[in-house]
Amino acid sequence: MSTATESQSSAEAVAGDPLLRVDGLHVRFPVRGAGRRQWLYAVQDVSFTIGRGETVGLVGESGSGKSTIGNALLRLVPVHAGTVRLGDTDVLAARGREITDVRRRMAMVFQDPLAALDPRCTVAESVAEPLQIHRLRPSGGRRARVAELMDLAGLPSRFLDRYPHELSGGQRQRVCIARALAAEPELLILDEATASLDVSVQSQILNLLRQLQQEMGLSYLFISHDLASVEHMSDRVLVLYLGRIMERSPREDLYRSPGHPYTQALISAIPLEDPVAERQRRRIILEGDIPSPIDPPSGCVFRTRRPLVIPECAEDLPPGHDLGPDHTAYCLRAGEQVGGT
């Protein structure tokens, strides 16, 4: 375990002082199976950094552990092992008021804005709540700050006294963004933040997020199962499968020359806009299903999906294979091409 942690973190040669540094993160959940207590290994040995003003994309299929990583950063699930540093703060050692402050500095935006907002609160009340919790403005200055935050999120002030059910999905997500910004965070964890929205609204929200990042120097952890929006948003990308990082890379390099067979399969499945290219697109179809995180395969957890598999894949965790600056794939056959159909 420690060897893998070291190999993953040393592969990450990021210059300067990152805002967030995650090292060897493990999260497991107790579950009951076959009448006895077992562990579900949701996140295993995940290490990464996020720089100031940087967007790191976290991509992987449903169940790969993306939300659990976001939740672990905010201390919403128990962490089994690892360290998380936010600036000078040891996040996993924080207690009481320090945890509240960690949750101020890293704010989360969720997939479903209707579930995230209290139906009994007006827009103004929802956006003002973090100001109270974190004692950010004297109560007299709050209404003006709420108007400012709504303006930042592109919401007209006539929405101040409306309720969530009176708004569209995109407007509600703007309220959640205004609310997240109210805490004056350094990092936003965007967990499938546009997945519930129509495509045209999705791109409006993504553009808003990019614009806010430029204006405010925010860092983003952009969590999504959608490779196209991850490409649109991210500076660097982490590819997650069964709780483990398969590949990490600057965005352009990843989409141009994916080194891990899993990343190659994911990218081969992105529909192309050009109808001719779309017809000629070669897709890599993986065999079988994602194994259970209660009993992950030995060696490389991806090996049961078959492409390029060799007997050695079953033996040890694959070491990192460097494919370029900051670009590492955890695969014995990294860089080889899987044939498509």
Ligand X SMILES: Nc1ncnc2c1ncn2[C@@H]1O[C@H](COP(=O)(O)OP(=O)(O)O)[C@@H](O)[C@H]1O
State the residues that interact with ligand X by CB under 6 A.
29, 31, 40, 42, 60, 62-68, 293
Does residue number 5 form part of the binding site for Mg ion (CB under 5 A)?
Answer: no
DSSP string, 215-253: HH--EEEEEES-HHHHHHH-SEEEEEETTEEEEEEEHHH
287 with 305: CB under 8 angstroms?
yes
- Compute the least distance from the CB of residue 72 to Mg ion, in Å: 13
Looking at beta carbons only, is 58 or 167 nearer to ligand X? Answer: 58
| Residue 29, contacted partner among ligand X, Mg ion, none, CB below 5-8 A by kind | ligand X
Kindly state the greatest CA–CA separation across the chain. Answer: 68
Q: Which is nearer to ligand X, 33 or 141 (CB)?
A: 33
Q: Choose the binding region for Mg ion from 16-24, 62-70, 128-136, 292-300 (rule: CB under 5 A).
A: 62-70
The interface partner of residue 229, options being Mg ion, ligand X, none and the CB cut-off 5 to 8 Å by kind, is: none
Size of the site for Mg ion (CB under 5 A): 2
Nearer to Mg ion, 66 or 321 (CB): 66
Q: How far is the CB of 162 from ligand X (least distance, A)?
A: 31
What is the three-state SS of 194-215? CCCCCHHHHHHHHHHHHHHHHH
Binding segment (CB under 5 A) for Mg ion, from list 60-68, 214-222, 259-267, 288-296? 60-68
- Report the nearest approach of ligand X to the CB of residue 40 (Å): 5
The distance of closest approach from Cβ of residue 65 to Mg ion in the complex, given in angstroms and rounded to an integer, is: 8
Could you say which residues in the range 63-102 bind Mg ion, by CB under 5 A? Answer: 66-67
Reduce the DSSP state of residue 65 to 3 states and report it. coil
Whole-angstrom distance between the N-terminal and C-terminal Cα of the chain?
37
Report the residue number, 40 or 121, with the smaller CB distance to ligand X: 40
Three-state DSSP class for residue 172:
helix
Q: Which is nearer to ligand X, 9 or 44 (CB)?
A: 44
| Least CB distance to Mg ion at residue 77 (A) | 12
Residue labelled with tokens 């919403």: 76
- Rounded to the nearest 10 degrees, the angle between the axes of helix 142-152 and helix 123-133 is 110
Question: What's the length of the chain?
Answer: 341
Indicate the residue among 53 and 291 with the shorter CB distance to ligand X: 291
Residue 40: which of Mg ion, ligand X, none does it interact with, CB under 5 to 8 A by kind? ligand X
- CB 70, min distance to Mg ion, A: 8
Closest CA to 85 of 47, 40, 41, 29: 47
185 binds, among Mg ion, ligand X, none (CB under 5 to 8 A by kind): none
Q: In what order do the strands lie in the sheet with 20-33?
A: 36-50, 20-33, 81-86, 89-90
Contacts (Cβ under 8 Å, ≥6 apart) of 67: 191, 192, 223
Amino acid at 14: V
Task: Say if residues 291 and 242 touch (Cβ distance below 8 Å).
Answer: yes
**CB of 292: closest distance to ligand X in angstroms?**
8
| Nearer to Mg ion (CB atom), residue 60 or residue 130 | 60
331 contact partners, CB below 8 Å, separation of at least 6: 246, 247, 259, 260, 261, 300, 302, 308, 318, 321
In the complex, what is the shortest distance from the CB of residue 167 to ligand X, in angstroms, rounded to a whole number?
26
Pick what 293 binds: ligand X, Mg ion, none; C-beta below 5 to 8 Å, kind-dependent. ligand X
The contact set with Mg ion (CB under 5 A) reads: 66-67
